[in-house]
Structure 1
Amino acid sequence: MTYHGDNAEQKGSGKQIMSDQDNDGGGLPNTGIVTKTRPKTKKPSMYKVLLLNDDYTPMEFVVHVLERFFEKGREEATAIMLQVHRKGVGICGVFTYEIAETKVNQVMDLARQNQHPLQCTLEKE
């Protein structure tokens, strides 16, 4: 086999053999920086879960709902329940859409099972 220059062809094989040198003869391999660009991720929209006042749902049931589905302590749950009672609406928490929707459905299902007219909704923040 005979080699001629940096880019030689093996006689009879048709294979080209490449050298480690770059094309300008500087002796260094071709190097470059590969960068990955990450698309900017958008934060998900957040939704408030609201309880609405009515004249029939017992206050203790509202406190129970806040403790069970929104992980509120007794004191915080009572404060939110009183806000619902006095102002007509109270914020249970702020969540992504899927979580807020699930919590609204859980509250509404439990209220219906207990024959309470409690209303729970979500609102984009």
Structure 2
Amino acid sequence: MIMERNAFVTATLVSRPDVDKERRLDDDTALEKRWKIIAHDDPVTTMEFVVRIMVQIFKKPLILAEAIMWQVHTEGMSVVDVLPRTEAERRVGQATMAARLEGFPFRFTLEPEA
């Protein structure tokens, strides 16, 4: 009986690697330096596409997505977000891939936050 109880206790104390990995990633991301994601204007990418990317990939509300798009259009660039480097690189990669798949040269740069 004692052996069965110990087996049960051991089984309940085993860590879950998937949960532990997520926690480590969250902790690592929280410690990372933050980077500005900057969107740049070009003569080809449509305004509608820029808004869609801001909403779908950068999770911006529609009104803010439109404001970012107008700033990119009128001033040549706009800071889209400030995120830990890993997350910033991931989102820029997704947005760049989406742009290329639709034939747009839309581009982003990353700058360390001051």
Higher relative contact order (CA 8 A, sep 6+): 2
Q: How does 1:34-113 map to 2 (within 5 A)?
A: 43-113=31-101
Match of 2:11 in 1: none
Structure with bigger helix share is: 2
Deviation at 1:43, TM superposition (A): 4.2
Unmatched 5+ residue regions in structure 2?
Answer: 1-29
Amino acid in structure 2 at the alignment position of 1:47: W
Identity, % of aligned positions: 36
> Structure 2 length normalisation: TM-score?
0.71
Match of 1:30 in 2: none
Q: Which runs of 4+ in 1 moved over 4 A?
A: none
1:32-80 deviation line (CA, Å, top 9, x unaligned): xxxxxxxxxx942110111100011000000000000111111100000
The root-mean-square deviation of aligned C-alpha atoms, in Å, is 1.3
Number of positions where the alignment pairs a residue of Structure 1 with one of Structure 2: 84
Unmatched 5+ residue regions in structure 1?
Answer: 1-41
Match of 1:19 in 2: none
Amino acid in structure 2 at the alignment position of 1:113: L
